[in-house]
A and B are shown apart, each in its own frame.
Chain A
């Protein structure tokens, strides 16, 4: 890996921001690369988890937020479960995604953030997810209307997707949870 160290302002340090959000300190990483060897998406994303950690340690912040890996990470936790230093890399990725969204700074291929928003919107509305509503909101946002349309007739015929949302979820807690989250953000 070619290392290019660029100057960043200390107060905007990603390493500290990640630690504040996730409670995880990646400075203890030994660079043994067990995480990278087990990572199922590193070849697809073109970056390895151990590289992200090294970049965090070296404050190569711009490079990290541009990496496809932070959006391609499937949170499979293989990295964490094999890490000899018990660094929860999946939680580090959660923190990096959150920072990338806050900074509007990501070049992700799929729009994972839009999907997350669409998903949680249905949870907030109904207390449970509503697949069709979530898919519609996501497709509308990405303007990619034709993806998987070939599968819908089959799914409807087999009863493999619900037409209507569930109205059985008790929204007592849901309202409180989302209200408090908004206050905190």
Chain B
């Protein structure tokens, strides 16, 4: 199984743990991830805030690289995933935009490269049976709140990830791993995304509401599939504690780290020492078998 893999800029900085865990899990499951040589930024939120054409040209440049490799694109960061899906959608449905992008890049791109989130690869391409066979460890009833956030599931017609109001892909992974998937209402609420620096007040308010609901629902950890969700929910717990006087001590881990633990990979190799809130309770819950 071979894919082009777009790590996204945060994989080299604030989300090295995501990068490490995805690579380790892929290696263990025999998934070959090849990074397009010289991949560049997708533009993220500042891209679409600034200019529509810019926000499509930036991801399209990377999709063109994958097209030349003849491979589907795998992404982990929900923001990169969303920007690439939007670029494909616009290029496919709007001939004017396709022409503009071709003129900008100097090459035509037809919007045909298939884009998968790493979670989709695990469940849909590897499959539940093969995953069950590969797991040497179990989460042993660990109560996990699967948090999807915004950009994986919305807009539904563009991302086609899962149900936009009640997605279950990550929950099914948690169940396969022997964890208890927490039924909670904040799966697709917003954490404040890219406002970490500019509007910390919004991030604190929204992340507090998500963490509070996870705690109330009995979760022992929150599992995420996006580096922005991870850093907001994890690192801002100290700010929430100051502003709201609530100390959640809720571990926020990547779903790829949970999968890695169940494949018997060491927490160090999965970058779990980089979590701000200690994930000790998560690591200790993992049992052989």
Question: Could you list which residues of chain A lie within 8 angstroms of chain B, going by C-beta atoms?
Answer: 21-22, 40-41, 44, 71-72, 74-78, 80-81, 88, 91, 94, 97-98, 109-113, 115-117, 119-120, 123, 127-129, 131, 135, 138, 147-148, 151, 154-155, 158-162, 166, 168-174, 176-178, 180-181, 184-185
Contact = CB atoms under 8 A, between A and B. Distances in A.
B54 A138 contact: no
A94 B49 contact: yes
Contacts of A162: 12-13
24 contacts: A21-B52, A22-B52, A41-B202, A41-B206, A44-B202, A71-B199, A81-B153, A88-B155, A109-B199, A110-B197, A112-B195, A120-B54, A128-B12, A147-B197, A148-B200, A158-B273, A158-B276, A160-B276, A161-B14, A169-B39, A170-B37, A170-B40, A171-B40, A180-B57
A12 B39 CA distance: 41
Given A94-B49, A170-B38, A76 B193 contact: yes
Contacts of B40: 123, 127-128, 169-171, 173-174
A54 to B, nearest CB: 23
Interface stretch (B101-109, B218-226, B260-268): B101-109
A78 B164 CA distance: 9
A131 B13 contact: yes
**Chain B interface bracket (under 10, 10 to 19, 20 to 34, 35 or more):** 35 or more
A74 B164 contact: no
Contact of A112 (B9, B10, B198, B274): B198
Contacts of B206: 40-41, 74
B84 interface: no
A41 B206 CA distance: 8
B32 interface: no
Contacts, number: 168
Contacts of A127: 38, 40-41
B202 A72 contact: yes
Interface of B: 9-10, 12-14, 16, 37-41, 43-54, 57-58, 61, 64, 103-106, 150-151, 153-156, 164, 188-190, 192-195, 197-202, 205-206, 235, 238, 273-274, 276
A119 B44 CA distance: 9
A119 B197 CA distance: 11
A23 to B, nearest CB: 8
B202 A77 contact: no
A91 B206 CA distance: 21
A160 B16 contact: yes
Contacts of A81: 153-156, 164
A185 B54 CA distance: 11
A176 B106 contact: yes
Nearest to B61: A173
B54 A97 contact: no
A123 B46 CA distance: 11
B197 A138 contact: yes
A169 B37 CA distance: 8
Contacts of A171: 40
Nearest to B275: A158
B35 to A, nearest CB: 9
Contacts of B44: 119, 129
Nearest to A124: B41
Nearest to A132: B13
Nearest to A113: B49
Contacts of A109: 199, 201
Contact of B53 (A91, A119, A184): A184
A75 B48 contact: yes
Given A98-B51, A173-B61, A111 B46 contact: no
A128 B9 contact: yes
Contacts of B52: 21-22, 91, 94
A170 to B, nearest CB: 3
Contacts of A177: 54, 57-58, 61, 104-105
